[in-house]
Structure 1
Amino acid sequence: MDIETKTDRRILKTKKAITEAFLELFSDKEIEQITINEIAERANVNRGTVYLHYTDKYDLLNQCINEHLNKMFIYCKDNGMNPENSNMFHMLEIIFTYFQKNYMFFSSMLSSKTTIEFRERMLQFIVSNINEKINAQKTKHEMDTELLTQFLASAFVGTVEWWIVNKMPHSPQYMAENLGRLFEKQGYLP
């Protein structure tokens, strides 16, 4: 059992080094310009090790996106974000804090021209959470729920994108309070 645990830690450490190397390169270059050799060299592993864990650089990108979206979901749930929680400011602060803690990843994803898929998947994550919140309220909205959800999610993702691309000019708390007020002022979420 001890050997298995050590192996798992080494694998995790190796994958983390590969991921960090990839994200560093991705923050400077488009994915088409990045080679597996560059990733391996920067991660201080051999090329075969990269291929042991990932099919190619696109698989690596896809796994990075999946991992971060899953981590974001878990982080939000672990920090009290749930559909029954009606404190929108707290929920927004949780999300902005997560973005701040993972700035390098989100900055790389949102500033690259080839990461439309990431933006779409993040949008779907937010749509799902807004739908849960709207459904948990059990109140009838005057607007079409799907239209309301798409509007709120698009506004949120666009604001997050602006915040990250501009190197987070405000704190997560500031962003949560102001974005929450905007939504509240417009009567979109109580």
Structure 2
Amino acid sequence: MKKNSAVTAQTKQNLLDAFWDLYCTTRIEKITIKEITKRAGYNRSTFYEYFTDVYDVLEQLENSLIAKLQELPIQQLSAPGDPFQLQALVNMYSQHSRYLMVLLGDHGDPAFQGKIKASMKPMIKEILVARGAKDGFELDYTLEYALSAMIGILSYWFNQENGPTIEKLMELLAELSSEGVMRKLM
């Protein structure tokens, strides 16, 4: 007998939501399958139909966010005059801030930032090389620097109670991108 795909998707989402509720306040090594299934209202065998363990839940959640990043129209991420204009990334970040704030925060997965950069860097690099950028260590390090800065500033912004508007933040990022950090500070 084949299961209803809508019910299956909802069951998996309920388990993910229960995990997420726990992960927001508890380190992953302290989360148990029993807690997840109790919170979601299922038994352990249901959990194992979708996940192997709590780390698999986190991995699947992170992979779904990475997939959404890879769906972004990368051409919007790199306008010809400003290769690090990231309005599309900010929009995606805003839509999924519930997850990204925690995953990129102090109690999140330390490897997640690396996963984001590893998924985005080749796509942005390809566009920049197609536009005439020289492929070499300078481009690689510049992309690493820029992506680290963007992810860091977005994480910082989302965790501020009285942060600037998104428009002001984008304005600052554009200035930093065009003027350079040290010139902006001087």
TM-score by length of 1: 0.80
What is the aligned partner in structure 2 of residue 145 from structure 1?
139
Gaps of 5+ in 1: none
Change beyond 3 A, Cα 1:80–1:134: closer
> For 1:136-161, what per-residue CA distance to the aligned partner results, in whole angstroms no more than 9, with x for missing partners?
321459x8222212211221122122
What is the aligned partner in structure 1 of residue 122 from structure 2?
128
What is the aligned partner in structure 2 of residue 10 from structure 1?
7
Of 155, 162, 165 in structure 1, the residue corresponding to residue 159 of structure 2 is 165
What is the CA distance between 1:81 and its match in structure 2? Answer: 3.0
Tell me, in whole angstroms, the C-alpha distance in 1 between the residues paired with 2:37 and 2:170.
Answer: 39
> Which amino acid is the alignment partner of residue 73 of structure 1?
Q
> Which amino acid is the alignment partner of residue 86 of structure 1?
P
Gaps of 5+ in 2: 182-186
Of 113, 120, 144 in structure 2, the residue corresponding to residue 119 of structure 1 is 113
What is the aligned partner in structure 2 of residue 81 from structure 1?
76
Change beyond 3 A, Cα 1:20–1:169: farther
Change beyond 3 A, Cα 1:87–1:139: closer
> Which amino acid is the alignment partner of residue 12 of structure 1?
A
Of 50, 53, 63 in structure 1, the residue corresponding to residue 47 of structure 2 is 50
Residues 1:94 and 2:88 aligned together: yes
Q: Out of 53-62 and 85-94, give the one that drifted further.
A: 85-94
What is the aligned partner in structure 1 of residue 66 from structure 2?
69
Tell me, in whole angstroms, the C-alpha distance in 1 between the residues paired with 2:81 and 2:156.
Answer: 24
Paired-residue identity, %: 23
Contact conserved, 1:23 with 1:104, CA < 8 A, in 2? no
More helix by share: 1
What is the CA distance between 1:70 and its match in structure 2? Answer: 0.2
Of 37, 60, 66 in structure 2, the residue corresponding to residue 40 of structure 1 is 37
> Which amino acid is the alignment partner of residue 44 of structure 1?
G
Contact conserved, 1:90 with 1:176, CA < 8 A, in 2? no
Contact conserved, 1:127 with 1:150, CA < 8 A, in 2? yes
What is the CA distance between 1:166 and its match in structure 2? Answer: 3.1
